[in-house]
């Protein structure tokens, strides 16, 4: 049953000291409310919340013993505790919630100590509107002015939102005006007028079909109700990560490219990030990095029409594969896309980089620069050859350097790189030693230098 | 013939901890004028910086090096550490690092002074500008005996190579360079003398000329957008600085040349 109330409570105002006063709170500022406040007209099923404030405008403490709202359609959203004292100049904030269940005129009497104000509003007969958000979550009733969000949509594709209009009133509701504002939005199904009998529903669909990238906004208007529409048009194309080597290995500088199956319809920036997962746990490698940035992140740019991402002035970005076996995982992010690619750096025998073999009057000086991406180096074998090419006594000399290698690698900040310096005193004429061959063993096999000729500085 | 004996007992120490080192590729300079220690192996460089800042030029051979700031000349040891500095006039300075047989050399182009570095006090080589009769654009200490230096001198548009006797400062010999380097080095590009080879970095390519005059060309991975600068940064390494990009590191070996890129030095590393 509908109540039409107009309550006059002036007697209460006259009998109490006017130390408390009601204010409307708008954008953080206060506007005094004298004897009544109108909530305006809303549709049934909708609601309107208005923030108010009761302030002690005096300089002395006063008591709050009454705080009530009498009347249908209105409630206090967050009432203060009663009784309580209110210091001079202090204030209590609350909201009045207007939510009429049926069409008509509504009023209520707000009363506090020394304050009495009539609040009133009108309800138009209207349907409730619920939105299927399209993300698998159940439909929910739209709040007044709630934004209908279409999320991120690729340029050229369409996202749709379905709205259900339900008549919970006793009489038929006829909807004559439904409109969509905004170039990227379309009303897909609406044969007007829509006649919705009591207890029944009708649905309509709004589509977001952006032709250009960027954030797009619009509005859906159903009779006097207006709901903002919002969608993000994403023109990026899914990035694909590629490498310029068919057989990745340690000690390489490799070019990474990011390509798109079709030309990008959007301009913007992305980044590719690398993460190293060593085969041997804890084997960090600071050499695994993007060369232009010197770290594990490389930004890139995409222009509309591009089929490949730009890293500065280049169509790709170079990185180092390091000197440790494991997996390098690359993650490219662009717009809503996140793509991964994994580059496996296989375990390998020791890689020889450079050698220096010097013959001095005191002996033979060897320097080997190499890397062991397994960090399992063990045996070293040296075989010296005379000028006639014959192996010199005592022949191949093998030492087990496993412990020494482990001792070196443990604190090393260079990944699997090592430099080995060895000096061999020679009893006799060092000039008789023509060359040396060195073998280095790790868990993946034996690396050989071949015969290295000694030079005299 | 005396029998040559290699002590097996000493071999065991080859794998001792003290015999492992962090391989130093060389000492480079980045666009921020930082002196960077480059460790690692070819293709896997680990950059540690900065050994010095405000560096205008550097030359390093693996045996030692030289670096020039606005006001000082820095002498580097084989580990790339600054061991001594001497006052230097402003302006361009040409550098030649020491080798296993020779001392480092530096030439102040503003004053046309040639100096030979030494452990304690450097020695000024008594050359006369008139003898040079041109503009010096590169130099190197000749390895064979350490008594001579080679200066690359532009006389008009022709490149001449002068052999200077370091004790007397006299020109012991001179010849005009041929080939594309001889034709172009005085017009544009950056010239390096390295182990009696000439290396010219132009905007288009690297041109390498060996002692016999034979030339070969090496293309850059991408075309530089401006002038390039070239310097020796390690025993077998040269750095080609190109505008707007990571510097190129070129390894010169008997087997040929290979180009890499030098990673940026990350802040704080």
Q: Say how far apart CA A279 and CA A347 lie, in whole Å.
A: 8
Residues of A (97-156) whose Cβ lies below 8 Å from B: none
Quote the pLDDT of residue B255: 79
DSSP string across A102-140 = SSEEEEEEEEETTEEEEEEEEEE---EEEEE-SSSSPPE
Which of B22, B42, B262 comes nearest A251 by C-beta? B42
3 state SS for A47-101 = CEEEEEEEEECCCCCEEECCEEEECCCEEECCCCCCCEEECCCCEEEEEEEECCC
Determine whether the interchain pair A287/B17 forms a contact, defined as Cβ–Cβ distance below 8 Å.
no
Does any domain span residue A422?
yes
Question: Stretch B177-192: mean pLDDT, rounded?
Answer: 95
Q: Examine residue A4 and state whether it is found in any structural domain, yes or no.
A: no
Of the two residues A252 and B17, the one the predictor is more confident about is A252
Domain membership of residue A1 (yes or no) is: no
User: Does residue A19 sit in the same domain as residue A48?
Assistant: yes
Asked if A243 and A221 sit in the same domain, the reply is no
Looking at the DSSP bridge assignments, the partners of residue A230 are A149, A217
CB contact under 8 A, A323 and B40: yes
Q: Are residues A257 and A339 in the same domain?
A: yes
Domain of residue A365, CATH code: 2.60.40
Question: How many folded domains does chain A comprise?
Answer: 4
Structure confidence by residue, pLDDT tens digits, A341-377: 999 999 999 999 999 999 988 889 999 999 999 999 9
Peptide bond into B7 cis (omega under 30): no
Do both A66 and A105 map to the same domain?
Answer: yes
CATH number of the domain where residue A324 is located: 2.60.40.1930
pLDDT value of residue A229: 97
**Does the pLDDT value for residue B150 go beyond 80?**
yes
Boundary (domain end) residue, out of A124, A157, A185: A124
* pLDDT of A18: 60
A6 within domain boundaries: no
Mutate to test the interface with B, among A252, A288, A289, A410 (most CBs of B within 10 A): A289
Q: Could you tell me the CATH number of the domain that includes residue A91?
A: 2.60.40.10
In DSSP terms, which residues pair with A68 in a beta bridge? A111
CB contacts, 8 Å: A430 with chain B: 4
DSSP B235: S
Same domain, A330 and A363: no
Contact A428 B7 (CB under 8 A): no
CB-based contact A100:A73 (threshold 8 Å):
yes
Same domain, A327 and A397: no
pLDDT tens profile A182-200: 999 999 876 788 899 999 9
Q: Which of A6, A15, A65, A1 is nearest to A38 (CA)?
A: A6
Check CB contact under 8 Å for B266 and A295.
Answer: yes
Residue of B207 and B195 predicted with greater confidence: B207
Which residue in A311, A324, A397, A429 has the most chain B C-beta atoms within 10 A of its own C-beta, making it the best mutation to test that interface? A397
A221 and A245 part of one domain: no
pTM for the structure as a whole: 0.74
Q: Do B46 and A370 touch (CB under 8 A)?
A: no
In a domain? residue A318: yes
| DSSP 3-state of B129 | helix
* A269 shares a domain with A193: no
Q: Is residue A10 part of a domain?
A: no
Asked whether residue A282 falls in the same domain as residue A217, the answer is no
Ordered strands of the B24-29 beta sheet: B24-29, B35-41, B44-52
Which chain B residues have a beta carbon less than 8 Å from that of A289?
Answer: 263, 266
Q: Which of B212, B211, B36, B188 is nearest to B140 (CA)?
A: B211
ipTM of this complex: 0.86
Which residue has 């896309």 as its token pair?
A337
* Residue B79 confidence class, pLDDT cut points 50, 70, 90: very high
Residues of A in contact with B261 (CB under 8 A): 253, 291, 318
Q: Enumerate residues 6+ apart whose C-beta is below 8 A from B39.
A: A414, A417, B22, B23, B24, B25, B45, B46, B47, B48
- Predicted local distance difference test score (pLDDT) of residue B8: 40
Q: Cβ contact (<8 Å) for B15 and A312?
A: no
Nearest chain A alpha carbon to B19: A421
Are A20 and A77 in the same domain?
Answer: yes
CA distance B200 to B208: 7
Q: Which domain holds residue A261?
A: 239-345
CA distance B239 to A39: 77
Considering A202, A234, A266, which residue would you say is the last residue of a domain?
A234
Provide the pLDDT for residue B142: 86
Among A327, A345, A363, where does a domain finish? A345
CA distances from A444 to A345, A375, A435, A441, A456 (A): 14, 10, 26, 8, 35
Pick from A289, A364, A400: CB nearest B263: A289
Q: Does B235 score more than 80 pLDDT?
A: yes
A160–chain B nearest CA distance, Å: 47
**Strand locations in B103-170 (E):** 105-108, 113-116, 123-125, 135-141, 148-155, 158-165
> Per-10-residue mean pLDDT for chain A, 457 residues long?
38 53 94 94 89 94 95 94 94 95 93 95 92 84 91 89 92 92 88 90 93 90 93 90 95 97 90 96 94 95 95 93 97 93 97 92 90 96 92 89 92 93 85 93 96 89
Whether B269 has a pLDDT exceeding 80, the answer reads no
Q: Which residue of A has its CA nearest to B266?
A: A294
Give the C-alpha separation, A317 to A294, whole Å.
12
Residue at A265 is within a domain: yes
Q: Domain check: are A182 and A216 in the same one?
A: yes
Residue A271 lies in a domain: yes
> How far is residue B77's CA from residue A107's CA, in Å, rounded to a whole number?
93
How far apart CA A174 and CA A196 sit, in angstroms, is: 6
**A358 to chain B: which residues are within 8 Å by CB?**
100
Residue B48: closest CA among A455, A269, A413: A413
Task: State the Cα–Cα distance between residues A56 and A21, nearest whole angstrom.
Answer: 7
């Amino acid at each position: 049953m509908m109540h039409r109330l107009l309550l006059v409570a002036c007697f209460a105002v006259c009998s109490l000291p006017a130390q408390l006063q009601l204010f409307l709170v708008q954008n953080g500022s206060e506007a005094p409310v004298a004897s009544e406040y109108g909530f305006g007209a809303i549709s049934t099923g909708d609601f309107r919340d208005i923030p108010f404030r009761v302030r002690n405008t005096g300089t002395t403490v006063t008591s709050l013993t009454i705080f009530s709202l009498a009347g249908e359609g209105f409630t206090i959203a967050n009432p203060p505790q009663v009784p309580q004292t209110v210091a001079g100049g202090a204030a209590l904030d609350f909201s009045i919630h207007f939510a009429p269940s049926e069409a008509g005129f509504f009023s209520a009497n707000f009363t506090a100590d020394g304050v009495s104000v009539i609040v009133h509003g009108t309800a138009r007969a209207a349907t409730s509107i619920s939105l299927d958000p399209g993300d698998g979550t159940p439909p929910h009733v739209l709040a007044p002015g709630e934004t209908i969000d279409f999320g991120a949509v690729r340029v050229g594709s369409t996202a749709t939102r379905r709205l259900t209009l339900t008549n919970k009133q006793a009489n038929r509701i006829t909807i004559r005006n439904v409109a969509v504002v905004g170039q990227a939005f379309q009303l897909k199904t609406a044969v007007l007028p829509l006649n919705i009998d009591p207890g029944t529903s009708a649905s309509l669909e709004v589509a977001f079909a952006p032709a250009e990238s960027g954030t797009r906004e619009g509005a859906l208007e159903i009779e006097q109700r207006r709901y903002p529409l919002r969608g993000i048009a994403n023109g990026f194309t899914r990035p694909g990560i590629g490498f310029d080597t068919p057989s990745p290995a340690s000690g390489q500088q490799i070019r990474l490219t990011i390509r798109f199956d079709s030309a990008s319809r959007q301009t913007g920036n992305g980044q590719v990030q690398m993460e190293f997962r060593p085969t041997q746990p804890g084997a960090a490698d600071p050499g695994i990095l993007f060369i232009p940035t010197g770290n594990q992140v490389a930004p890139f740019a995409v222009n509309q029409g591009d089929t490949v991402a730009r890293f500065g002035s280049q169509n790709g970005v170079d990185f180092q594969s390091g000197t440790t076996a494991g997996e390098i995982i690359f993650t490219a992010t662009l717009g809503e896309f996140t793509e991964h690619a994994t580059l496996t750096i296989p375990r390998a025998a020791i890689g020889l980089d450079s050698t220096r073999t010097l013959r001095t009057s005191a002996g033979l000086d060897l320097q080997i620069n190499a890397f062991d991406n397994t960090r399992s180096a063990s045996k070293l074998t040296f075989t010296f050859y005379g000028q006639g090419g014959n192996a010199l006594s005592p022949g191949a000399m093998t030492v087990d350097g496993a412990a020494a290698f482990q001792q070196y690698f443990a604190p090393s900040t260079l990944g699997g790189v090592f430099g080995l310096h060895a000096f061999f005193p020679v009893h006799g004429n060092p000039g008789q030693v023509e060359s040396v061959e060195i073998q280095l063993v790790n868990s993946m096999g034996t690396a050989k230098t071949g015969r290295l000729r000694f030079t005299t500085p | 013939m005396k029998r040559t004996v290699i002590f097996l007992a000493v071999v065991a120490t080859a794998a001792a901890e003290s015999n492992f080192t962090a391989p130093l590729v060389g000492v480079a300079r980045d666009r921020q004028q930082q002196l960077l220690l480059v460790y690692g192996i070819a293709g896997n460089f680990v950059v540690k910086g900065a050994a010095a800042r405000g560096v205008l030029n550097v030359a390093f051979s693996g045996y030692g090096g030289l670096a020039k700031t606005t006001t000082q000349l820095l002498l580097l040891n084989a580990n790339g550490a600054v061991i001594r500095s001497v006052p230097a006039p402003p302006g361009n300075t040409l550098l030649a690092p020491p080798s296993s047989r020779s001392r480092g050399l530096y030439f102040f182009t503003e004053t046309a002074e040639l100096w030979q570095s030494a452990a304690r006090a450097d020695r000024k080589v008594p050359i006369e500008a008139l003898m040079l009769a041109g503009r010096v654009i590169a130099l190197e200490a000749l390895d064979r005996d350490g008594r001579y230096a080679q200066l690359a001198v532009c006389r008009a548009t022709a490149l001449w190579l002068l052999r200077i006797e370091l004790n007397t400062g006299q020109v012991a010999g001179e010849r005009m360079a041929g080939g594309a380097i001889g034709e172009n080095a005085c017009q544009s590009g950056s010239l390096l003398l390295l182990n009696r080879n000439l290396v010219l970095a132009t905007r288009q390519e690297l041109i390498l000329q060996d002692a016999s005059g034979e030339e070969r060309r090496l293309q850059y991975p991408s075309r530089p957008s401006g002038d390039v600068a070239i310097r020796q940064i390690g025993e077998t390494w040269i750095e080609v600085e190109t505008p707007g990009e990571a510097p190129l590191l070129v390894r010169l070996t008997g087997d040929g040349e290979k180009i890499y890129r030098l990673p940026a030095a990350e802040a704080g590393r």
